[in-house]
Structure 1
């Protein structure tokens, strides 16, 4: 999503933009919900609203969540906060990946300063002191002040400019599905910490919940293969039946979890955004939010410089890189620490986890701090 979001933002701010994409995204269809969903934060909602993409997203299918409840399987306390505590209508929205991509792609079509080259692919990058040139498979040569690599965790841009990455495989998978429950989801994002990993229930517009269940690889394989009745029973038990019995389940899928951090975001006039720069554990649902904040910070930079200035001057990109690497690295290792602390059955962590959540929940200012950080407020 970082690519089309950055392209539309730059075009709306008076810059000339080319967007290179190997394949046009398949059109979103309401009848086939995407299993990948995000807890979309208010600051990024405001960004997409300014790009003309949020209204089409919300009118199609975006569900607000107004409350978050977090607890540990060992008991001892619970973290519970809601939008009223922050003086807001909602904490954020649950949105499907495919819907976000579809509406951003449509926003690209409406932007006159934006040229889409699709299907096409990057083959080489050439740089000098004043410009960068993207050499494409079609033979096109695109010369610009700045090249953004927004091409995902397996970034070709990152590889071409030789920016190394630090990878850590968690040995876990995120199992995803839509489920129906006996009781309504209450517009609440629920998360229970289990020794095997966190289990999240996210409220969706059709009354179902989207689950993200972090599991060891072997356990994820077992539950993917389980029959529906058996899966529903195990999920109900894992979720402590907070919404009653799980009564229905969609198709299931699972994806490997890893932390991947580029050791640099900038090489000359090339900059990385989104998953090309950082991939984090999904337990807080913040991966997409961090990526769009990369774009928002770049937008602030080129707005300060102006359409005629050199947005990719080394000192400017260096400042942006310091800011974004600091925030993203802190977030990645914070999620890593939370996952390690809660996803084990060692005696000491088990004894203190629940009371710690309870303490944060009872300390109003501290709870509000965590809620604001998660929501970008």
Structure 2
């Protein structure tokens, strides 16, 4: 079906008012509202604040994401990838992962898939800014700053109560479908009564950008220590972005170190693989936890991104999983529209929830299991782990399957 016919069909199905209200304007929420608006749906984005615009003159944001090819493809479809690519993006063509206890390692190379790269390291703010800049042209209504204080499921609509009146109609916003993309502590998820399964890792991810003695060689470097993984990810300016997972008390100690002592300890932790650490930015820490929503659908509300799942950062897949949620939601709604179904048809929403909850749960538990395996401390367990790593590295088909899955 052509995009014109799909737009006309969406218009016939929606009637008056909003089709979709997306709550949360981070990367997942902004991508979702843009993708759904491109289907011809009447969409609104609600967020507590308008994000600061990204500028090439700004210091590189400490929060970066490793965008898999599937995420790059989505952003390209949405028309925002050229602006992101023209900003600051670090390319990683290879990945080297090694175990501190056994020395066993695995290497991944884009060339083994016939590709030029494995992915891009991009600042969160750059991706979000590019998405927001595309909203007006897509006809997305923006309510910012605005805060949802209540949700009411009706027979034919879902109402959102806002903290302040939005226009002459007051503080009530009505839509056929609400997408909760309001983060891991999602107020909408709580209002919908959706339970979550949580596990606190008792760790903090220490992040910074560092300059190293040797170039990063367009490679993502990750070493597994007994305390957790430490990763150096290639930035566009030649530096590396650090993500160092540590037990809470140890992370607080590392965060408080003078720069010289911090750089020395980081060099030891990375086995000086890139030589000495020569310079560092300020550091920040983020607590780590596993969190899985027990349902992705509640009436006319669906969960997306961190509101639905929060995973361990060791595989760098958190944002990619959220963007895959966006693709699945768009595809399910598009197929429904083509079949003459409204966006709030229960079967359509159930299909999205079933597919993404199954895929995300499998991925999240796989990452969790990997973190547990690398935490084994006994000598026999370490020897078994080392043997397994070496075996995987030698099995080309298995390595390619793992890489294909990570690429989306």
TM-score (ref. length: structure 1):
0.97
| 1:22 is the counterpart of 2:54 | no
Q: 1:75 corresponds to which residue?
A: 102
Alignment of 1:196-275 (within 5 A): 196-275=227-306
Q: 2:357 corresponds to which residue?
A: 325
Partner-residue secondary structure (3-state), 1:80: strand
Q: 1:160 corresponds to which residue?
A: 191
Q: Report if the CA contact (8 A) 2:333-2:348 is conserved.
A: no
Q: Report if the CA contact (8 A) 1:196-1:344 is conserved.
A: no
How many residue pairs get matched?
A: 375
**Misfit runs of 4+, over 6 Å:** none
Q: Report if the CA contact (8 A) 1:342-1:349 is conserved.
A: no
Deviation for aligned residue 1:83: 0.6
Partner-residue secondary structure (3-state), 1:108: coil
Q: Deviations over 1:116-140 (max 9, x none)?
A: 1111111221222322122222234
Gaps of 5+ in 1: none
**Whole-Å Cα distance in 1 between the matches of residues 349 and 225 of structure 2?**
41
Alignment of 1:177-192 (within 5 A): 177-192=208-223
Q: 2:404 corresponds to which residue?
A: 372
| 1:121 is the counterpart of 2:136 | no
Deviation for aligned residue 1:347: 2.1
Gaps of 5+ in 2: 1-26
Deviation for aligned residue 1:44: 1.0
Deviation for aligned residue 1:76: 4.3
Aligned with 2:204 (options 168, 173, 192): 173
Deviation for aligned residue 1:104: 1.0
Q: Report if the CA contact (8 A) 2:98-2:104 is conserved.
A: yes
| 1:104 is the counterpart of 2:131 | yes
Partner-residue secondary structure (3-state), 1:8: helix
Aligned with 2:308 (options 270, 277, 282): 277
Q: Report if the CA contact (8 A) 1:121-1:136 is conserved.
A: yes
Partner-residue secondary structure (3-state), 2:146: coil
| 1:48 is the counterpart of 2:68 | no
Moved more, 97-106 or 200-209: 97-106
| 1:60 is the counterpart of 2:102 | no
Q: 1:3 corresponds to which residue?
A: 29
Partner-residue secondary structure (3-state), 2:159: strand
Aligned with 1:130 (options 128, 152, 156): 156
**Whole-Å Cα distance in 2 between the matches of residues 148 and 322 of structure 1?**
16
Deviation for aligned residue 1:241: 0.9
**Whole-Å Cα distance in 2 between the matches of residues 275 and 131 of structure 1?**
25
**Whole-Å Cα distance in 1 between the matches of residues 317 and 278 of structure 2?**
29
Deviation for aligned residue 1:343: 2.3
| 1:288 is the counterpart of 2:319 | yes
Q: Deviations over 1:2-46 (max 9, x none)?
A: 111111111111100011111001122333211111110111111
Deviation for aligned residue 1:165: 0.9
Q: 2:59 corresponds to which residue?
A: 32
Q: Deviations over 1:40-67 (max 9, x none)?
A: 0111111111111111111001111100
Q: Report if the CA contact (8 A) 1:76-1:358 is conserved.
A: no
Deviation for aligned residue 1:363: 0.7
**Whole-Å Cα distance in 2 between the matches of residues 361 and 33 of structure 1?**
34
Deviation for aligned residue 1:110: 2.2
Q: Report if the CA contact (8 A) 2:336-2:348 is conserved.
A: no
Deviation for aligned residue 1:298: 0.5
